[in-house]
Amino acid sequence: MGSSRTVSDARRRVETAVLLARASTATGDQRARLEDEVIRLNMQVASEVARRYHGRGIPSEDIDQVAYLGLVKAVRGFDPAVGDDFLSYAVPTLRGEIRRYFRDSGWAVRPPRSVQEVQARVVQAEAVLTQRLGRAPRPAEIAAHLDAPLSLVVDALSATGCFSPVSLDAPRPDGEAAESPIDRMGDHDPAFASAEARVALAPLMASLSARDRRIIELRFFENRTQAQIGAEVGVSQEQVSRLLTGILRRLRASLAA
């Protein structure tokens, strides 16, 4: 099969070169017919280039169409006088058209242009370095390979899901629990509102005397009555009330300061 494929590719190259040479000296409808024949002859090449970009969040049919349009552009822009190897000119043209389509139309969430442009290079570098290192490359290694700023590489890696974000309502794969991603997201945390107050009060509580800190703990954490607090710390209920008022006044003043 490999030998047959090689023969087929070689024949395509020869026939393409002949047709393009004839087209370069033709005009009008005759030139158009010859170019159409070159396009039909090389559609398999366009399909193979497009296949490399399938599964990245854009419908495969759209990528194929962009590749075919790139093939038309390559056929009409090729000059046999410059070189006779059409594929060496066409393949980069096809890749450029597909990448441009991704850059302009493929982002569900659009990052900065600099990130868009470097992401394709990052993907290629990951493949090369993975094979060379025998493991997934680190961002710093990718940056060194591309001679690009580390921060830009990190942003490009973070933007990988922008092509095909996961739907929050998408069902789980077969065999897993029948729930969507949104069902596994965290709910409102009732302690969130008090988190900032806890952080702010922690050093102030540490500055209180052991007795004052114990009074606060008994009143606001253990919900003891003033009589119960007085019995534990050895003061009257009236004194507990005055002590609490003084402690809270000092805490408020410290927070305001």
Residue 243: CATH number of its domain = 1.10.10.10
Same-domain status, 38 and 128: no
Is 147 within a domain?
A: yes
122: left (phi > 0), else alpha (psi -120 to 50), else beta?
alpha
**What pLDDT, in 10s, does the model give residues 78-98?**
887 777 678 888 888 888 888
**Core vs surface per residue 4-42: b (16+ CB within 10 A) or e:** eeeeeeeebbeebeebbeebeeeeeeeeeebbebbbebb
**What pLDDT, in 10s, does the model give residues 21-72?**
888 888 888 988 988 998 998 999 899 999 888 877 678 888 899 999 999 9
CATH number of the domain bearing residue 119: 1.10.10
Q: What pTM value is reported for the model?
A: 0.45
Is 55 within a domain?
A: yes
**What pLDDT, in 10s, does the model give residues 93-139?**
888 888 778 766 655 556 666 776 777 788 778 767 877 777 778 88
**What pLDDT, in 10s, does the model give residues 196-250?**
777 888 888 888 899 998 998 999 888 999 999 999 989 998 999 999 999 999 8
User: Are 213 and 229 in contact, with CB atoms under 8 Å apart?
Assistant: no
In order of 63, 78, 124, 245, the CA distances from 215 in angstroms are 70, 87, 64, 11
Same-domain status, 99 and 8: yes
**C-alpha span between 94 and 69 (Å, rounded):** 8
Same-domain status, 155 and 78: no
- Kindly tell me if the per-residue pLDDT of 1 is higher than 50: no
Structural domain harbouring 146: 113-162
Domain-terminating residue out of 85, 105, 125? 105
Total structural domains in the chain?
3
Same-domain status, 38 and 100: yes
Q: What's the mean per-residue pLDDT of the chain?
A: 80
